[in-house]
Structures are given as structure tokens and as C-alpha cells.
């Protein structure tokens, strides 16, 4: 069974590691859009149909996030964290850096105690704009499921070229300002 987020903003979700988490989905609401097709992904497989590559607009994200944050604060339940996740890889969004900048402004204005987290498979960290954005968030959570290219191909089924060595090289550019996430399988 697959579980897709049907809107730009989802939750809040009670997360053991992050606290009360308000989710932000930058990706299509009707299908998954990711640079991986992981065997364990709750979103299922990447879609191949018209509209499958339509990103949510920067303006819609800013408007919906601002409205939801204001509502949560007015109800006395501000989020502990604003988490970019959703129906695939958030850093694939062409306006990712600008959306992170918008989110920082909204957070600082509406609920300054909230942290900003990004859950990423690290395939886009070779792009300077993505690295700049991830350096500005509180929790830059990057995934690496194996140290071996063959195992990554089996578990994560990357779309396009992928090299563990290249991803690790790019992870080092964060100088330790990241959290490494891994899925252990038997």
C-alpha cells in the first residue's frame, strides 16, 4: 500500500526524533517524484504520467505554510519543527533554495522557536544552491543506505547515475553540519 500526501502542508505529526512536526510537500500531490525508487518507500514508485513532474509553486508553499503556522500558533500548538519531506525528494524542486529562504522568514516571524528540517536522499547535494539552502536549516538530514554502489542500486534503485563516493565527497562539504540517516536491512 502506498501513502501519498494529498496537500502541500501535512500534519502535524508527532515524531519521536523531531517532536511535533509540520510537514511540507514540495512535490506533486497525485504521485511520487524522486531521484530514487527505494524498495521500502511508503510513497510507492515514481509515476510516469502527465502531471507527474508538476512541483507545487513557491507562492502556494509560502501562502499555505504561513496560514498553517499562524493557525497553529493561535491555537497554542506551534510546531517544534517544520519538516520538508513529502512525496519524493524535496531538493529536486527548482525553487528549493528560495522556498527555504521563505520558510526561514515565516518561521522567524510567526514561531521563532520552531526548527527547520529537510529529509533528503542526498542525490542533489552536488548542486551549490541545494548545499547553500541545506546549510541554513537546523536539521540537514541526509540519507546514505549503503557504502557500496551495488547495494544502493538494489535498495534505492537510483534514477540516473549515482556514485556513493561522489555523495560522500559532497557530504564532506557540509563540515559535519548534517545528520546521516540510514535504513538497515537484513
Superfamily of domain 9-181: Aldolase class I (3.20.20.70)
* pLDDT for the residue numbered 48: 66
pLDDT tens profile 90-112: 999 999 999 999 999 999 999 99
Place of cell 565527497: 169
Tens digits of residue pLDDT in 146-176: 899 898 888 877 888 889 999 999 999 999 9
Q: What was the pLDDT predicted at 20? A: 97
Strands, E assignment, the chain: 9-15, 19-25, 81-85, 115-120, 139-143, 179-181
Rounded to an integer, what distance in angstroms lies between the CA atom of residue 90 and that of residue 46?
A: 14
**What's the confidence (pLDDT) of residue 159?**
85
Q: 61 phi and psi, to 5 degrees?
A: -60, -50
> Quick one: pLDDT at residue 86?
84
pLDDT score of 115:
98
At 134, is the pLDDT very low, low, confident or very high (cuts 50, 70, 90)? Answer: very high
The residue-averaged pLDDT of 52-76 equals 93
Query: What's the CA gap between 116 and 164, in Å, rounded?
Result: 26
Residue 67 grid cell: 496560514
What is the spatial distance between Cα 103 and Cα 28, in angstroms, rounded to a whole number? 19
Predicted structure pTM score: 0.90
Amino acid at each position: 500500500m502506498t501513502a501519498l500526501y494529498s496537500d502541500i502542508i501535512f500534519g502535524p505529526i508527532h515524531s519521536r526524533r523531531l517532536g511535533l512536526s509540520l510537514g511540507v510537500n514540495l512535490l506533486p500531490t497525485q504521485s511520487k517524484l524522486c531521484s530514487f525508487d527505494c524498495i521500502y518507500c511508503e510513497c510507492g514508485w515514481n509515476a510516469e504520467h502527465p502531471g507527474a513532474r508538476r512541483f507545487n509553486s513557491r507562492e502556494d508553499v509560502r501562502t499555505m505554510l504561513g496560514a498553517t503556522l499562524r493557525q497553529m500558533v493561535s491555537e497554542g500548538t506551534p510546531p517544534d519543527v517544520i519538516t520538508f519531506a513529502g512525496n519524493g525528494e524535496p531538493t529536486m524542486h527548482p525553487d528549493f533554495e528560495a522556498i527555504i529562504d521563505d520558510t526561514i522568514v515565516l518561521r522567524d516571524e510567526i514561531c521563532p522557536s520552531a526548527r527547520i528540517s529537510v529529509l533528503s536522499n542526498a542525490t542533489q547535494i552536488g548542486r551549490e544552491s541545494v548545499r547553500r539552502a541545506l546549510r541554513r536549516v537546523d536539521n540537514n538530514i541526509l540519507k546514505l543506505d549503503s557504502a557500496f554502489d551495488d547495494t544502493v542500486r538494489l535498495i534505492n534503485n537510483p534514477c540516473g547515475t549515482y556514485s556513493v563516493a561522489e555523495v560522500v565527497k559532497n557530504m564532506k562539504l557540509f563540515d559535519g553540519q548534517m545528520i546521516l540517516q540510514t535504513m538497515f536491512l537484513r
